Each structure stands twice: as structure tokens, then as C-alpha cells.
Amino acid sequence: MGTISFLPVDGKISFKLQLATERFKDYFLSIKEFKCLEGNNELQCHVPYPYPNSATVSPDNLRWLEHSLLFFYKTPRDFGARLSNGLYYQMQITEQGIVGTPQAIDLVQMGAPPADPSQDRGFLLPAIFCACLGNAGGQESYAEVKITH
């Protein structure tokens, strides 16, 4: 299906995923081209992660690799991309290497970019600030807090 190269960089392990595109077939689904594997009357299509990805892993954190290997499945007769039929391969390091176990996931949420936290969305309380005003009534274990927005 492809290769993954790992390289230590600045105390982290970077990786590069290279799909064997000759094993995939191109499908134009929902106004987007997907690389799909065919078999058993099913298509399994790679979904490139659309947001910045550090492409780094550690022995106890393989999330960016998992995010690089997202897929959805569908039958050839189904219309369009079926992102609701997503597959997330939860990775685990074993004696045989890194093994991914498929988990069902709805990838539809990835279709919209994450909200920009720097934009004011007009919330009634756009932020909450807590300021300690000192001890109330001389009790050491109690502090009066003023909450403002």
C-alpha cells in the first residue's frame, strides 16, 4: 500500500508517508479526486488530512501517523464520497512493527476547517476573567473571586 520513512529530527521522530499510487485507482467523488483501493465489492479511499500536520511520532504518541492514514469505505454503486463511513486506524507498536486496527469514525466534520479562535464570533461572554480580590472574612481557605467579561 505504501511506505513510511522515519527520521530523528530535533529530539522527535519525523515521518514521511508515500502511498504506492500504482495500487490505487483514481475516483472523482463529491467534486474531489480520491485514491481508492478496490476489492470485495468495496472501495476504500484515502482521505488526506486537510490541516497542518507536524508529521512526527513518538513511541507513546502515533496520532499524526493515524491522521495521515484516514480512509472511508463505500460500495462502487454508492454515489459520492461517504465520509460518514470513515476509518481511523488506531496504531500500536508491536514486535511485528506498527499495527493499525480500524475504528469507525465520521469524517464529515473534517470537511469544514476549525474555527479561527482569533475571530470574535459575537458570543455574549467572549471571555471570562477571574481576579482574586483577597481573602474574604479572614479565612485562609477561601478567596473571593470576581468574574467579568
**What is the per-residue pLDDT across 56-110, written as a single tens digit (0 to 9) for each?**
999 889 999 999 999 988 888 888 888 898 988 998 888 888 888 989 999 988 7
Looking at the domain assignment, is residue 87 inside a domain?
Answer: yes
- Tell me the per-residue pLDDT of 27-67, one tens digit each, with 9 for 90 and over: 888 888 889 988 888 888 999 998 889 999 998 899 999 99
In a domain, 48, yes or no: yes
Question: Is residue 30 in a domain?
Answer: yes
- Please give the Cα distance from 108 to 58 (Å, whole number): 28
Residue 63 confidence (pLDDT): 94
Task: Please give the DSSP secondary-structure letter assigned to residue 115.
Answer: P
- Domain with 23, as residue range(s), is 2-113
Helix count and strand count (H, E) for the chain? 1, 11
69 and 83 Cβ atoms separated by less than 8 Å = no
Residue 85 lies in a domain: yes
Stated pTM of the model: 0.72
